[in-house]
């Protein structure tokens, strides 16, 4: 199968390597020629040190690489999803299946990544791949599990066929088969709304958990943040019309655990830095790694307010990032809220 991976960050690179190992003809697209040349000259991605790029992997900055592809994997930062879709639109082949692996909600529109693709590239089946999946580990073929989600109606519209006994959508089952191998297990789902909202919101929670760690609050505080955030997330996706149990799967609880606890997590480490009094915006300085939680704090908080969902942890993170609230004061505010039952 001919596949284009659009976005040569750590995650896009790791997935391109995985797909190439699975026997597909894979091209890895960079947003500019300089980035593509750097990858070619170094033979590895600087965010994945010690992991050589396969010689069979095509490196390019040309948008027409998507022509004739059966699958296009969109792996840019969430804020660049719309621009990436616009750049490749003239070259896409009808029938290409689109897979978003970016996690976020567009601030201006409140749209999820799959909705942006559907808006910019109408008529294509769109799936989302998400879950606890550090690029550093996937690139080194360490055991990982994700979920591929695509609504049933989108699959049927695009003409995908699958046995009627399957409960998942045909497109998500096809994506499942394309990505899955002995070190990368993929489950299928039709709840693309829940999967994408979980993926966006968990980055905000990782910032909160990191801030608690940076302030020296200990493991109890981190566990408190994560468990109560899961309740907030459950309320959000239920209000959005998604399946509540998605919160307790790989896209929700699974991704939250790894993002809130691992030193590989850029959002967690950004939170630690903030808790220590450092200033962090949308990237991690010299690593040039995007802190998606920074952008998600704006868009997810706005979406929650639109849906009438109270998300106190997410709201506090937003106030710390954009209104200058002191993290210690925000934590005290959370701890002293009105008494209530757990559920």
With CA atoms as reference, report the closest residue to 74 among 255, 83, 93, 17.
Answer: 83
Q: Helix-strand-coil percent breakdown of the chain, rounded to 5?
A: 50, 15, 35
**Strand spans (E) along the chain:** 2-6, 25-29, 58-60, 71-74, 97-100, 126-130, 144-149, 184-189
User: C-alpha distances in angstroms, 268 versus 109, 137, 236, 317?
Assistant: 26, 17, 22, 13
Query: Cα(132)–Cα(251) distance, rounded to whole angstroms?
Result: 7
The DSSP line for 217-268 is: --HHHHHHHHHHHHHHHHHHHHHTT--GGGGGSIIIIIHHHHHHH-TT-HHH
Helix (H, G, I), strand (E, B) or coil at 24: coil
Does the annotation count 55 as an active-site position? no
Q: Is 198 exposed, middle or buried, given 0-12, 13-18 or 19+ CB atoms closer than 10 A?
A: buried
Tokens (6 digits) for 230: 């899961």
- Choosing from 21, 46, 202, 325, the catalytic residue is 202
Can you tell me the distance from the alpha carbon of 205 to that of 226, in angstroms, rounded to the nearest whole number?
A: 7
C-alpha count within 13 angstroms, C-beta hemisphere, residue 166: 17
Chain Cα centroid distance, residue 335: 29
Q: What is the separation of C-alpha 122 from the centre of its chain, rounded to a whole number of angstroms?
A: 22
Residues pairing with 187 in the sheet:
147
* All residues at 6 or more sequence positions from 338 whose CB lies less than 8 Å from its CB, including other chains: none
Catalytic (active-site) positions: 202
């Amino acid at each position: 199968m001919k596949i284009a991976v659009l976005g040569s960050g750590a995650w896009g690179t790791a997935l391109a390597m995985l797909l190439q190992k699975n026997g597909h003809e894979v091209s890895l697209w960079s947003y500019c020629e300089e980035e593509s040349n750097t990858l070619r000259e170094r033979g590895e991605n600087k965010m994945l040190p010690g992991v050589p790029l396969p010689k069979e992997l095509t490196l390019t900055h040309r948008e027409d690489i998507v022509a004739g592809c059966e699958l296009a994997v969109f792996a840019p930062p969430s804020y660049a999803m719309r621009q990436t879709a616009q750049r490749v639109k003239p070259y896409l082949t009808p029938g290409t299946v689109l897979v978003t692996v970016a996690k976020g909600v567009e601030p201006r529109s409140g749209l999820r990544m799959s909705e942006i693709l559907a808006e910019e590239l109408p008529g294509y089946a769109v799936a989302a791949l998400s879950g606890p999946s550090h690029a550093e580990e996937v690139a080194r073929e360490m055991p990982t599990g994700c979920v591929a989600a695509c609504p049933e109606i989108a699959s049927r519209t695009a003409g995908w066929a699958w046995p009627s006994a399957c409960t998942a959508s045909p497109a998500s089952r096809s994506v499942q088969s394309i990505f899955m191998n002995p070190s990368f297990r993929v489950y299928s789902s039709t709840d693309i709304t829940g999967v994408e909202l979980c993926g966006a919101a968990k980055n905000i929670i990782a910032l909160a958990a990191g801030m608690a760690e940076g302030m020296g609050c200990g493991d109890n505080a981190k566990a408190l943040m994560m468990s109560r955030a899961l309740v907030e997330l459950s309320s959000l996706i239920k209000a959005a019309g998604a399946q509540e149990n998605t919160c307790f799967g790989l896209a929700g609880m699974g991704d939250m655990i790894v993002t809130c606890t691992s030193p590989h997590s850029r959002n967690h480490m950004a939170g630690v830095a903030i808790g220590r009094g450092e200033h962090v915006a949308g990237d991690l300085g010299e690593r040039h790694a995007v802190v998606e939680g920074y952008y998600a704090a704006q868009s997810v908080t706005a979406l929650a307010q639109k849906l009438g969902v109270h998300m106190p942890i997410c709201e506090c993170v937003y106030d710390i990032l954009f209104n200058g609230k002191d993290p210690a004061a925000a934590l005290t505010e959370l701890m002293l809220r009105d008494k209530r039952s757990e559920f």
